Amino acid sequence: MDIVIIGSGNVAAVLGRKFRAAGHKIVQVLSRNAKAASELAYEWDTESTNYKSTINKQADVYIIAVSDDAIPEVAEDLKLPGKVVAHTAAAVSKEALKNITAHYGVFYPLQSLRAGMTSLPDIPIYVDGSDEEAKTKLSALARSISPEQVAVAGPEDRMKLHVAAVLVSNFTNHLYKLAADYCQQEGLDFRQLLPLIEETALRLKEISPKEAQTGPAIRHDRETIQKHLELLNAYPQLKEVYLLLTHSIQQGN
Ligand SMILES: NC(=O)c1ccc[n+]([C@@H]2O[C@H](COP(=O)([O-])OP(=O)(O)OC[C@H]3O[C@@H](n4cnc5c(N)ncnc54)[C@H](OP(=O)(O)O)[C@@H]3O)[C@@H](O)[C@H]2O)c1
């Protein structure tokens, strides 16, 4: 397919690379960020623009990969009759695109994407469409980059998935950040924890999170928890998170 990518951030960069690796052609990158757009266009041997008025009108699919709140602004005044147009946000209604074309939808990648990632990850894709044309084309595009992990998901399912994704990815990463700060303060090397992080994530391929839970909270090792809390007196924010999660583990099992 011929594709126009709108946006030049993390999702634009990674989806564009995936599309190209699957044999599609990126015919244009449109972004308000002229520098980032021209860098992606150079990488993909295509053209870039930062004016909606010069958008390429010959593509098969238009992927809008901009911040959630910017989608209505980007959609404003954009007219692509007959074309399939989708945004990549879990939490934004597809109706935000209804004035662009009759064939609009969502192309939500359930993965944490960063422009700087060195290899292209597997990306489950959840699509939605205003009509059969949008659903069929977006599903075909999704299957071309993710043959086994494509599903249709309406707004409610997408939102529910998004909440779960925030828990397992964004919140977990925040805990890594807190631990990294703590390690730095205490003169420890955070990288010592990488085998533990890897094992904790990978075991979920075989057993449930409930079965996988270990540690002082689930064992109700009160004295150990008390010693940890004393150590954390110097880190009030961390202590609060530690207590909250300890209670959550003890209540939830
Ligand atoms: N990253 C992920 O892991 C992920 C996963 C699934 C879905 N998504 C969804 O994908 C979309 C893009 O996310 P992202 O991570 O790629 O974001 P990002 O890296 O922050 O990039 C956002 C892009 O939107 C542009 N933008 C922001 N405000 C704008 C405005 N008012 N008008 C025009 N362009 C504007 C930015 O341009 P500037 O560079 O000029 O700011 C940039 O090109 C979001 O809807 C997000 O929910 C993200």
Print pLDDT tens along the chain (253 aa): 999 999 999 999 999 999 999 999 999 999 999 999 999 999 999 999 999 999 999 999 999 999 999 999 999 999 999 999 999 999 999 999 999 999 999 999 999 999 999 899 999 999 999 999 999 999 999 999 999 999 999 999 999 999 999 999 999 999 999 999 999 999 999 999 999 999 999 999 999 999 999 999 999 999 999 999 999 999 999 999 999 999 999 997 5
Per the CB < 8 A criterion, the answer to whether 168 and 228 are in contact is: no
Q: How far is the CA of 55 from the centre of ligand 1 (A)?
A: 19
Per-residue buried b or exposed e for 232-241, using 16+ beta carbons within 10 Å of the residue's own CB = beebeebbee
The CATH homologous superfamily to which domain 158-251 belongs is ProC-like, C-terminal domain (1.10.1040.20)
Test site for ligand 1: of 10, 67, 92, 163, most ligand atoms within 8 A of the Cβ? 67
Structure tokens at 227: 């010693």
Domain boundaries, the chain: 2-153, 158-251
* Nearest protein CA to atom 24 of ligand 1, as residue: 66
- Residue ranges with strand state E in the chain: 2-6, 25-30, 47-49, 61-64, 84-87, 103-109, 125-129, 150-152
Architecture, CATH, for domain 2-153? 3-Layer(aba) Sandwich (3.40)
Query: What is the torsion angle, in degrees rounded to the nearest 10, for the CA atoms of residue 157, residue 163, residue 164 and residue 168?
Result: 150
Alpha-carbon gap, residue 30 to 56, rounded angstroms: 9
Per the CB < 8 A criterion, the answer to whether 28 and 58 are in contact is: no
Beta strands 125-129 and 103-109 are antiparallel
